[in-house]
Amino acid sequence: MKLPSKVRLCEVGLRDGLQNEPKILTTSEKLKLAEGLIDAGFKVIELGSFMSPAAVPQMADTDELYRHLNNIKGVELRALVANRKGVERAINCGCRKIKLNVSASKGHNLANINKTPEETVAAFSENVDLALKNGLEVSGSISMPFGSPWEGLIPIKDVEEIVQAYLRVGINEISLSDAAGVATPRQVYDICCSMQEKYPEVKWWLHFHNTRGMAMANILASMEAGITNFDTSLGGFGGCPFVPGATGNISSEDVVHMMDEMGIETGIDIQKLIELSRNLQAMLGREGDSYILKAGRTKDLFN
């Protein structure tokens, strides 16, 4: 197998993991989780999103989180934004990196932000210019590149058009997000190889949901294709509220455990991560989708 010696993980549990939970955590609870994730070794964390508090009340205190944490050095704290208002909020609270999002699925994009992909792309330039003018870094995300409950398989040319739109406005860090959990390993391998060949200037991230139990296999296929940046979620919590039947992202501790067992460096302390995941379960009052919390590490079984 052709595998990397190390990978970089972004913890998205504080955003994607919490945005659809009926129980809304307090700001102090989120801060404790964020500080624990930093202590466990995460260098990239998606701290929240700047969406309308009326639409996503779980993310209403993202500004406050940044005011507490934006002096931390050596850790990238990024946030999702949807429009100019979100960029302005990011600027005002000290956020230093934002992520824009568009769906390759027209149906999903309309359900998510009430715009077509074309309308969303048209607004990128204004948002990017405002962010860059104020010293923020900007990355992009493409949801549903592998398939959508609305349209089925997405033509690769539709995804490429969005990549090109990002590049035109100066964004060269892009995430492919399987929000519907429909991707398969061969498909992932082929698309990752194609995208890297056509757009070598892009820094790629992969974001997999484990809806049909294939997220780990898709990560493996991505690594075989040369991708080394992945989003994961503490406890396997999460899921897009606009996708029918969507479940959580691949569990952070499951991914770190697999990498540890395969000798691939993550820089993450698995023991601290497991404890944080247990704490999050207690806060939310329910279990997530984490195999390691149920079965424990392989090393623990052998020893």
Which residues, including other chains, have CB under 8 Å from residue 90's CB and lie 6 or more apart?
50, 66, 79, 81, 98, 131, 136
Q: Are 11 and 39 in contact (CB under 8 A)?
A: no
Q: Sign of torsion, CA 116 121 126 132?
A: positive
Q: Which residues are catalytic?
A: 240
Q: Are 149 and 193 in contact (CB under 8 A)?
A: no
Please state, in angstroms and rounded to a whole number, the distance separating the CA atoms of residues 182 and 213: 10
* Helices and strands, counts by H and E, the chain: 12, 8
3-state secondary structure at position 80:
strand
